[in-house]
């Protein structure tokens, strides 16, 4: 009997150590990626100052000019437009599904939202080319008295907004549903309407989690490549309006890696762009996770 218990204890210890090793290996991948990208970026960091690289808009690799400002601003513009479009729609959808919708409607809508998350990004890009780009070119730009080819920040923002719908809706819905029913009942007992309860009680309680959902959507939008690449225009200049074309960092990496690596430091510049993009996404994801943990603790 003692031998049997000893064997079981040894098996438990070995299984625990094996799972710990696998977990550490999975987590360490991100650090390996950061170190690898940094090492590949060192040649351009040695010959150009970080300030010059990040705050210059002159992108002429053949003349040893690698300014990322236009690409960084292009990424921020497209992501900002996507968030401005997606957040109100997603938040209102989550509120409806959580507070107003019948349980049957809620259960039917979740798989449909999941379908949006499973559609390949290239399909979104084709949809953007066939629908959104002509819409901007023929109707939206003329309405504002200007010309646009349709390949613009607005097109990329609309396509990207649809792509981040599932992320924001799912997380916001789970946070809203996690608010205890007793909180709502207490508000109703004081004579508040359902909307007043949602606005002043439920949303106040769930706001940190909703903010985390938005941050997750932003991090998802930052790293999207293919769909945005197909509709945003890919012109390396600082945009002046949402109807101008742009050139986000993911599109720069996808379009040029392997094409012009005979130019000195070109490979290193693209690796630096990848490193900047990776660090931004990691920061947004860590921030959203911290907020989610805190809101869950406060709700409990």
Reply yes or no on whether the pLDDT at 174 is more than 60: yes
The residue among 1 and 88 whose pLDDT is bigger is 88
Largest CA distance in the chain: 87
Query: What pLDDT score was predicted for residue 88?
Result: 92
pLDDT per residue as tens digits for the range 149-167 = 889 999 999 999 998 888 8
Comparing 1-5, 17-21, 147-151, 259-263, which segment has the lowest mean pLDDT? 1-5
Query: What pLDDT score was predicted for residue 298?
Result: 64
Query: What pLDDT score was predicted for residue 295?
Result: 64
Helix (H, G, I), strand (E, B) or coil at 65: strand
Average pLDDT rounded to a whole number, residues 130-136: 93
Residue 122: partners with Cβ closer than 8 Å, 6 or more residues away: 226, 227, 230
Query: Mean pLDDT in the chain?
Result: 84
Q: Which CATH architecture has domain 72-299?
A: Orthogonal Bundle (1.10)
Angle at 54 between CA 212 and CA 270, to 5 degrees: 90
> What are the two backbone dihedrals, phi and then psi, of residue 59, each rounded to the nearest 5 degrees?
-115, 90
Beta bridge partners of 211: none
Domain boundaries, the chain: 2-47, 72-299
Phi-psi region of 67 (alpha: psi -120 to 50; beta: other; left: phi over 0): beta
Q: Are 89 and 166 in contact (CB under 8 A)?
A: no
Tokens of 98: 């959580």
pLDDT per residue as tens digits for the range 233-277 = 888 888 888 899 988 888 888 887 766 666 778 888 888 888 888
Query: What pLDDT score was predicted for residue 259?
Result: 61
Confidence of residue 283 (pLDDT cuts 50, 70, 90): confident
Tokens of 102: 């019948």
The residue among 22 and 64 whose pLDDT is bigger is 22
Average pLDDT rounded to a whole number, residues 82-94: 91
The residue among 181 and 137 whose pLDDT is bigger is 137
Q: Model-level pTM?
A: 0.82
d(CA 225, CA 104): 36
Runs of H (alpha helix) within 179-265: 181-189, 194-197, 203-223, 226-231, 249-256
Average pLDDT rounded to a whole number, residues 120-131: 90
Residue 2 vs residues 5, 7, 12, 14: alpha-carbon distances, Å: 5, 9, 15, 18
Q: What percent of the chain has pLDDT over 70?
A: 94
Angle at 227 between CA 215 and CA 50, to 5 degrees: 60
Confidence of residue 136 (pLDDT cuts 50, 70, 90): very high
d(CA 78, CA 231): 11
Query: What pLDDT score was predicted for residue 43?
Result: 87
Query: What pLDDT score was predicted for residue 84?
Result: 92
56-60, 93-97, 197-201, 274-278 — which one is most confidently predicted on average?
93-97
Tokens of 214: 């938005």
End-to-end CA distance of the chain, in Å?
43
Query: What pLDDT score was predicted for residue 147?
Result: 86
CA 290 centroid distance within chain: 16
Reply yes or no on whether the pLDDT at 172 is more than 70: yes
């Amino acid at each position: 009997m003692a031998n049997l218990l000893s064997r079981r204890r040894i098996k438990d210890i070995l299984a625990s150590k094996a799972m710990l090793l696998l977990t550490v290996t999975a987590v360490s991948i991100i650090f390996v990626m950061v170190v690898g990208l940094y090492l590949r970026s060192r040649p351009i960091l040695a010959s150009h100052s970080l300030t010059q690289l990040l705050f210059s808009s002159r992108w002429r690799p053949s003349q040893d000019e690698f300014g990322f400002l236009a690409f960084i601003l292009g990424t921020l513009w497209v992501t900002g437009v996507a968030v401005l479009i997606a957040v109100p729609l997603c938040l209102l959808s989550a509120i409806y599904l959580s507070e107003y919708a019948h349980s049957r409607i809620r259960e039917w809508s979740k798989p449909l939202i999941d379908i949006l998350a499973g559609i390949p990004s290239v399909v979104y890009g084709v949809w953007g080319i066939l629908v959104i780009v002509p819409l901007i070119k023929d109707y939206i730009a003329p309405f504002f008295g200007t010309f646009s080819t349709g390949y613009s920040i607005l097109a990329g923002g609309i396509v990207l907004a649809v792509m981040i719908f599932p992320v924001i809706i799912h997380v916001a819905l789970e946070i809203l549903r996690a608010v205890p029913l007793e909180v709502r009942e207490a508000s109703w007992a004081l004579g508040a309407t359902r909307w007043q309860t949602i606005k002043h009680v439920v949303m106040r309680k769930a706001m940190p989690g909703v903010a985390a959902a938005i941050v997750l959507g932003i991090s998802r939008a930052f790293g999207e490549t293919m769909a945005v690449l197909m509709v945003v225009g890919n012109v390396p200049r600082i945009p002046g309006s949402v109807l101008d074309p742009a050139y986000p960092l993911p599109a720069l990496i996808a379009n040029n890696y392997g094409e012009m690596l005979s130019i000195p430091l070109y490979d290193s510049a693209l690796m630096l762009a990848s490193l900047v993009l990776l660090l931004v996404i990691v920061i947004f994801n860590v921030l959203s996770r911290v907020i989610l943990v805190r809101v869950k603790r406060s709700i409990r």
